[in-house]
Structure 1
Amino acid sequence: MTQRGTGVADVLEARDAEARIRVVRALLARPVLSAQRDGELFRLARRHADAVRAWFAAETGWRLVVDGETIRLLTSYAPVGPTAAAIAERHPARAKKGDPPFTRRRYVLLCLSLAVLERSDLQTSLGKLAGDLVLAARQPGLESIEFTLGTRAERSDLVAAIRVLLEYGVLVRVAGDEESYVSADGDALYDVDRRMLSTMLSSRHSPGLIASSLGDSPNIDRIEEALHEPPPAYTDEESNRLLRQAVSRRLLCDPVVYYDELPDAERAYLTGQRVPLTNRLVAATGLVAELRAEGVALVDPDDQLTDLRMPEQGTDGHATLLLAEHLASAGSSTVGALHRVMRGFATDHSSYWRKSTREPGAEVILTDEALDRLVGLGLVSVTGVGAGAVVQSLPALRRFAVSAPTIRDSSKPTRDRKSR
């Protein structure tokens, strides 16, 4: 091949590699792509489907389902360790950005909606779906979930679940709107996409098999663990593959992974393979690896793959950054003490922060929201409740520490480099 031909081939390969990174990032940010909504990105994903499918299967064990209208990444991940669990608790589902987080009732309504849609016609209305849900909610074990459609709050909870299904493409709106249903003066009509409906369940094992093997009244933690339990490994090669996939899933799903919170086998694997493992993940995702003595973090410089940004603009973002700097230096503190620190921040920055931060008690809200963000990013841990709860900085918070500046006396002459 001529030198010119080699150059063209390199350019084409670089372009394809960039396209694959874009597709992988898009699927990590939102695991469903549709031809109607995503257009050019969907066509790009279809073009590179074989390579992307093979990468996800090899590195994470996740399955990519591709058809003519939709692409669905079937992710499966169960957090292990106190930091990972705390992170997961602070990333609830939301119908759309800015909406209130899902409550237990909203999650139950989402699951019941999927169950009802399995038996519904290809076209259904929101009112019909709601009526079927009222009947479904009377099943044994759901006594604590009240759903009668009698209040605006209940209808809002149902609409939040419906909007998630619209986002995933399970439902396609044909007529009407959800807000009129919430106001009890209208309805909405949907087409049901059974292909997408069939891909909504994403777990390693069938819930029916798990239910029969766990006995009566298992707790939710045991159910989740069983649903995501890896298959048995019969050779050393299979064991290494499962370990690689488990660690890769943690690095892709959690903002930071600490060695001391990993199971022994995963910790040993990550310690020995962290450079080649992170190099593969970085090459496929465009993330930046931070390798430290305490753990590993994959950082997104473009802020595309996170719903919590640090730092962030605005009063809340600035307050969180200042509190992070304080905790990075202090190491630990009580929540009550942080309230006083935040009150000082509000006074010092009153010219720039919104007016409501100067009201009595505003420091409590600012501190709670900042701590919630820091815990959700794996930067601090909180033990206890109320003002006496103890906040402990975690190793990754040190990247926000600010050291005192070094001031040199400019009046003193400096030695000339050449005279050394």
Structure 2
Amino acid sequence: MTDHRLGDALAAQRAAEVRRAARALLRRPLLRAAGSHADEFRLVRRHATELRAWFERNTGWPLLVDSEVARLRRTPGRADDATHPARDQRTGLPFSRRRYVLVCLCLAVLERAEHQIALGRLAEQVVLAAADPALDAAGVSFGLADREQRTDLVAVVRLLLEWGVLAKVAGDEEAFLKSAGDALFDVDRRVLAVLLASRRGPSTVRADGFEERLAELNAEVLPDSDDLRNRALRHSLTRRLLDDPVMYLDGLTEGESAYLTSQRGALTRRIGELTGLVPEVRAEGLAMVDPDDDLTDLRMPESGTDGHVALLTAEYLAGRGGGPVPLPELHRQIVGWAQEHAGFWRRSATAPGAEVELAGQAVERLVALGLLERAQAPDGSALVRPRPALDRYRVGEAVLLEPGQSAPKKNTKTTAGRTKGARTR
């Protein structure tokens, strides 16, 4: 009996460790042996065999683990999802097109650099690389005389520091920004080598248009048997369930919808066993809800002015019956809320025109959470259209219950759940 209990306790401990390791990889698909996430790295390395087998079978994501790094090569379930961009480490603002280009140029320069590089030297090499006629033809330019462009480079460097590609040795990038100094960095070549997550090397892509090039970069071999087709469907749906806040049925192909109908229980059970996510099934789709609320890069609700605006916007749109709403109507609502909550919101929220920026940020957040979608009226004006999951934020009437009386049941068909999509590296 004692041996049996001990075996159960060890099995439970191992399952808990595997779950923590899997969640660590979903939060940060690249973990280093050194640094603030060293404990999570050791946990992943201890259970690498089991984790590698699960991700390979269910998502098709390769897992590389060695003595220096653990890298889950995540590819998104949808290549056209632009709702989770890279963000400035200081301001939280999404990266511009130029910053994405600078990320690629910096990585190309660092690939040929020594083990240490000064920020000034990196900047000079990036300027030379940016002089490529192809970039000029695409409308991308970069120089050091413009403070805005220097700010873009510093934002990229801070992102590379966060990823672990660079490690600061001396100096400060802020001094470089002010043209008052420089900074020196170590280059972690192992992290640099495993950073790219794609099925093909970019240099082998031959397509011309951006969408075509992106599709070719992660194109998979077309399955030619029932087993391979089912595996491809399992990979696609599991990626979506791990990445997307809500997976709506109307966004699935006919094959994905049929596979989900027959295999929904198995898919959600496997994900739940590994990660602790809980399935929430409704008529319109499916969400995997995180009770711990830490597998996310966006939260709802969230503190601060922007978080409050997003919550008020969600409640307002949920109470309008599901029809499309013109953006100017939303702007007018925010102007009223700004006056009502002036004592709690930041001062700039009451400035003339601030409602446009506040509405834009709220809509961006709600779209990323699968609660709204953007649309256009026949005259070309911008609209927002609620998605079924937004109904969770509908404010109902208060009901007073007599002693011993139970609350009435709701007959709802909404799909909701907190977002748990980690940033894709």
Q: TM-score, normalised by structure 1?
A: 0.89
From 259, 266, 282, the equivalent of 1:276 is 266
Q: Are 2:180 and 1:185 equivalent residues in the alignment?
A: yes
Q: Which moved more, 1:321-330 or 1:359-368?
A: 359-368
Q: Are 2:360 and 1:368 equivalent residues in the alignment?
A: yes
Output the amino acid matched with 2:134.
Answer: G
Contact 1:62 1:76 in 2 (8 A): yes
Q: Are 2:101 and 1:108 equivalent residues in the alignment?
A: yes
Could you list the per-position Cα deviations for residues 230-263 of structure 1 after superposition, in whole angstroms to 9, with x for gaps in the alignment? Answer: 2222321121111101111111111111111112
Contact 1:77 1:228 in 2 (8 A): no
Output the amino acid matched with 2:130.
Answer: A
Note the C-alpha offset of 1:347: 4.0
Matched residue of 2:216: which SS?
A: helix
Output the amino acid matched with 1:72.
Answer: R
From 326, 337, 342, the equivalent of 1:345 is 337
| Number of the residue aligned with 2:420 | none
Provide the C-alpha distance between the structure 2 equivalents of 1:298 and 1:7, rounded to a whole number of angstroms: 32
Query: Where does structure 1 lack aligned partners over 5 or more consecutive residues?
Result: 415-420
Query: Where does structure 2 lack aligned partners over 5 or more consecutive residues?
Result: 406-425
Contact 1:380 1:397 in 2 (8 A): yes
Note the C-alpha offset of 1:100: 2.7
Provide the C-alpha distance between the structure 1 equivalents of 2:70 and 2:149, rounded to a whole number of angstroms: 32
Q: Are 2:145 and 1:147 equivalent residues in the alignment?
A: no
Note the C-alpha offset of 1:133: 1.1
Note the C-alpha offset of 1:409: 8.1
| Number of the residue aligned with 2:127 | 134
Alpha-carbon spacing, 1:280–1:408, altered in 2? closer, same or farther (3 Å): closer
Q: Are 2:48 and 1:91 equivalent residues in the alignment?
A: no
From 4, 7, 13, the equivalent of 1:6 is 4
Matched residue of 2:105: which SS?
A: helix
| Number of the residue aligned with 1:418 | none
Alpha-carbon spacing, 1:389–1:25, altered in 2? closer, same or farther (3 Å): same
Provide the C-alpha distance between the structure 2 equivalents of 1:367 and 1:20, rounded to a whole number of angstroms: 41
| Number of the residue aligned with 2:203 | 208
- How many residue pairs match? The answer is 399
Provide the C-alpha distance between the structure 2 equivalents of 1:77 and 1:263, rounded to a whole number of angstroms: 16
Matched residue of 1:142: which SS?
A: helix
Q: Are 2:254 and 1:259 equivalent residues in the alignment?
A: no
Note the C-alpha offset of 1:266: 1.5
| Number of the residue aligned with 1:17 | 15
Output the amino acid matched with 1:36.
Answer: A
Matched residue of 2:60: which SS?
A: coil
From 21, 32, 56, the equivalent of 2:30 is 32
Note the C-alpha offset of 1:44: 1.4
| Number of the residue aligned with 1:227 | 217
Provide the C-alpha distance between the structure 2 equivalents of 1:358 and 1:181, rounded to a whole number of angstroms: 35
Output the amino acid matched with 2:230.
Answer: N
Could you list the per-position Cα deviations for residues 58-109 of structure 1 after superposition, in whole angstroms to 9, with x for gaps in the alignment? Answer: 11111111111211111112526xxxx4xx3232102426433211111111
Note the C-alpha offset of 1:407: 4.2
Note the C-alpha offset of 1:6: 1.3
Contact 1:49 1:66 in 2 (8 A): yes
Note the C-alpha offset of 1:378: 1.1
Q: Are 2:286 and 1:290 equivalent residues in the alignment?
A: no
Q: TM-score, normalised by structure 2?
A: 0.88
Could you list the per-position Cα deviations for residues 360-405 of structure 1 after superposition, in whole angstroms to 9, with x for gaps in the alignment? Answer: 4343333222112111111011223999422111011111122223
Provide the C-alpha distance between the structure 2 equivalents of 1:396 and 1:172, rounded to a whole number of angstroms: 42
Contact 2:164 2:188 in 1 (8 A): yes
Provide the C-alpha distance between the structure 2 equivalents of 1:315 and 1:193, rounded to a whole number of angstroms: 38
Provide the C-alpha distance between the structure 1 equivalents of 2:342 and 2:167, rounded to a whole number of angstroms: 47
Output the amino acid matched with 1:141.
Answer: A
Q: Are 2:297 and 1:302 equivalent residues in the alignment?
A: no
Matched residue of 2:287: which SS?
A: strand
Contact 1:311 1:317 in 2 (8 A): yes
Note the C-alpha offset of 1:344: 3.3
Alpha-carbon spacing, 1:323–1:387, altered in 2? closer, same or farther (3 Å): farther
| Number of the residue aligned with 1:172 | 167
Alpha-carbon spacing, 1:350–1:66, altered in 2? closer, same or farther (3 Å): same
Provide the C-alpha distance between the structure 2 equivalents of 1:333 and 1:226, rounded to a whole number of angstroms: 37
Alignment of 1:326-345 (within 5 A): 326-330=316-320, 331=322, 332-345=324-337
Note the C-alpha offset of 1:310: 0.6
Higher helix share: 1
Output the amino acid matched with 2:360.
Answer: D
Alpha-carbon spacing, 1:7–1:97, altered in 2? closer, same or farther (3 Å): farther
Provide the C-alpha distance between the structure 2 equivalents of 1:342 and 1:365, rounded to a whole number of angstroms: 10
Contact 2:77 2:243 in 1 (8 A): no
Output the amino acid matched with 1:285.
Answer: T
Contact 1:78 1:224 in 2 (8 A): no
Contact 1:379 1:393 in 2 (8 A): yes
Alpha-carbon spacing, 1:306–1:275, altered in 2? closer, same or farther (3 Å): same
Contact 1:65 1:73 in 2 (8 A): yes
Matched residue of 1:93: which SS?
A: coil
Contact 2:17 2:43 in 1 (8 A): yes
Alpha-carbon spacing, 1:359–1:94, altered in 2? closer, same or farther (3 Å): closer
| Number of the residue aligned with 2:303 | 313
Identity %: 47
**Larger Rg computed on CA atoms:** 1
